[in-house]
Amino acid sequence: MLRALEDLAASERQMYELDHRKDQVMTVCYILQGHNPMGGIAVK
């Protein structure tokens, strides 16, 4: 039981880190778009 809870906590932490990284990338893309006079890059 304890092992399963530890595994769950570890996988949640990985998911959070992945989401956080994705948010950082989106923020950088947003900033680049905002400062580019041609309208920036297309984000899909």
pLDDT of amino acid 18: 85
Average pLDDT for residues 25-44, to the nearest whole number?
69
Q: Using the predicted structure, report yes or no on whether residue 29 has a pLDDT greater than 70.
A: yes
- Cα angle 39, 34, 44 (rounded to 5 degrees) comes to 65
Q: Which amino acid is at 34?
A: G
Q: With a cut of 80, say whether residue 15 has pLDDT above it.
A: yes
Say how many CA atoms lie within 13 Å of 43 toward its Cβ.
Answer: 14
> What is the average per-residue pLDDT within 20-37?
80
Q: How many helices (H) and strands (E) does the chain have?
A: 1, 0
- Supply the mean pLDDT for the chain: 79
Is 14's pLDDT higher than 60?
yes
Q: How many CB atoms lie within 10 A of CB 19?
A: 10
Please give the torsion angle defined by the CA atoms of residues 14, 20, 21 and 26, in that order, rounded to the nearest 10 degrees.
150
